[in-house]
Structures are given as C-alpha cells and as structure tokens.
Amino acid sequence: MPSIVKILRVVADPNRLRILLLLKGEELSVAELQEILVMGQSTISTHLSQLKQAGLVEDRRAGKSSLYRLTPAEGSPLEQILAEARAEIPESSSDQAAMRRVLRKRQDKMRAFFDSVAGRLGKNYVPGKSWKSVAEALLRLMPPMTIADLGAGEGSFALLLAERATKVIAVDTSAKMLEVGRDQALRNGVKNVEFRHGDMEEIPIADAEVDLVFFSQSLHHALHPERALQDAHRILVPGGRIVILDLARHRFEEARELYADEWLGFSEADLEAMLERAGFTSVSTSVVDKEPEAPQFQTLLAVAHKPIH
C-alpha cells in the first residue's frame, strides 16, 4: 500500500483527483479519459504515469489500447480522500455524466455489431459455440422449470431450452436480434418463450423469478461480468442454478473486432472466484470442448447454485 505521504503528493493535483474518481468505478482508456476530461493525450498519459508509479492505478491490455483502473487497496487512505474530494471538486458530477456517455458509446459499438448481423448470425462462425458444449450443459439440467437465457441473441438456444422448460425468458440488448427470435418462435409454434429487451447487467426480470440462468457464449460481451453474475443471482429462486458456457481465456485479440468481444474469455479460477463473490456456492468448472482449427478456442462450462438460506 502506498504511503500517505506519497498519496498526498500525487493527489495534490486536482486533475489527477478527477482521474482517480473516474477510475474508482470503471476501467477507462486514455482516449476515453480524453473525451471525458477534454484534455490532450500527452497530459492524460503524464498524469496516468505518475499515478501508476505511485501505485494508485494499474492497467491491462485490451486490443490496441490499455484500460486503467484504481489499484485495489482495502483500507487505503485514498478511499477517504476520494470520498471527500467528490464533494469538493466542482467538475466531479459532470465528469461522471460524461463517463456514462462514453460507456454508452462502448456498448453501442457492440450493439451495432449484433444489429448488423441479425438474421444471419447462425450462418457465420461464432467462437466457442458447438453442439458438444451445448449437450454437456443440457445433461445437467433439471426437469421443466422457468429459465432465463441471458444474451440470447436470435434465440436459437432459448428455443432449444423451450422444448423442456415451463417457460424461457430470452434477454438481449439488440432489439433486432430479438425480432429475429420472435419470428423464429412464431414460425416454429413455440409459445413458452418470452423475449425481453435489456442488458445482462440490469436484467429485466423480477427477483426470484427463474429457476435456472443460462449464459451461453454471452458473458464475455458484458462490460462488467461480475455485475451480470450478481444480477443473475438476484433473479434466481433460492436453490436455483446458474450455467455458463463461455470461452476459456485465449489470446486471439482479433476477436474484439470480429465478434465485438469485451473479454478474451475467462480462466476457470477467475470464473469460479466471480461466481463465489456473487453469492453462488457448489461451483464447478471444466473445459468441455476444444476446436481443432486455429486459434483453437476452448469452451468452458461452469455450474453453481444459489443457496437456499
């Protein structure tokens, strides 16, 4: 943990305080910070370098750029400093509003990708989607129940689940994808699938409304995967289950542009830790498929329970 003297020296600059307040809640790139703070790249980069040297921020590669965030430090004096600074820095409220606009742009870019391929996604290659991995998950399903399919896309998986489910609620952020799903359900005479427009981090489903939550190759599209898991916990009945099919961590950076991926998969350890922090128990993870062709994507399956008490 940085010393109080080092922290005070670095945060004496109001602009560095503004940056820290933004990074307290979100990961942001230099370009995004430029847009929010209306400052030049060299100025932002200089501030970030000083904050990083002081141990107050850290970064991770995300495609061609880096995302910066506040370095976790429980009990650090920086927490109290930022709490008081939020009320004293006049630009704080406008910075937060600008950050929300920037994040909406990031989500809009992903939504635009899926809108552009609505109606033909099944004809294109999607990494990690295979019948073998789907079959592995279906083997673990309970008898008929109410199921939430989050990040449902065109609803192909929801329609498959509907064959055994009492009801399936298919949620997706792309309205055009949902239109395709509704048309497919109508053509196939499927009446127990309900399509709802919404974000997997703010799921349009009531508390304890479903028995099972499915993320099928969708969690890596979430800006904040852990928030999505926390909200999935909320909509589950006590004793309900969550099943995740996603990519195991990989290094195929082109996936960000080709498939609008926010995350390059997850490791078993990271996914297990996120599920446990979200309140799930009896977490099990395993790699259930590996594609023979480069980049040899692997499919990760995770299953967990929401405690009864």
Confidence (pLDDT) at 137:
77
First to last CA, the chain: 37
Per-residue pLDDT of 102-130, as tens digits, reads 999 888 888 888 888 787 665 566 677 77
Same domain, 184 and 249: yes
Per-residue pLDDT of 124-159, as tens digits, reads 666 777 776 776 677 466 678 999 999 999 998 899
Comparing CA positions, the residue from 264, 223, 204 lying closest to residue 104 is 223
Per-residue pLDDT of 198-232, as tens digits, reads 999 999 999 999 999 999 999 999 999 999 999 99
Non-local (6+) Cβ contacts of 88 within 8 A are none
Comparing CA positions, the residue from 211, 210, 181, 215 lying closest to residue 196 is 181
Per-residue pLDDT of 229-276, as tens digits, reads 999 999 999 999 999 999 999 999 999 999 999 999 999 999 999 999
Helix H or strand E encompassing 115: helix 92-117
User: Domain tally for the chain?
Assistant: 2
Non-local (6+) Cβ contacts of 287 within 8 A are 248, 268, 298, 299, 300, 301
Comparing CA positions, the residue from 200, 183, 187 lying closest to residue 234 is 200
Same domain, 219 and 151: yes
Same domain, 54 and 140: no
Confidence (pLDDT) at 139:
47
The CATH number given to whatever domain includes residue 175 is 3.40.50.150
Comparing CA positions, the residue from 245, 254, 222 lying closest to residue 111 is 222
Query: What pTM does this model have?
Result: 0.69
Is residue 152 within 8 Å of residue 195, measured between CB atoms? yes
- Give the residue from 96, 117, 138 where a domain finishes: 117
The residue range of the domain holding 168 is 121-305
Same domain, 161 and 260: yes
Whether pLDDT at 180 is above 70: yes
Whether pLDDT at 171 is above 60: yes
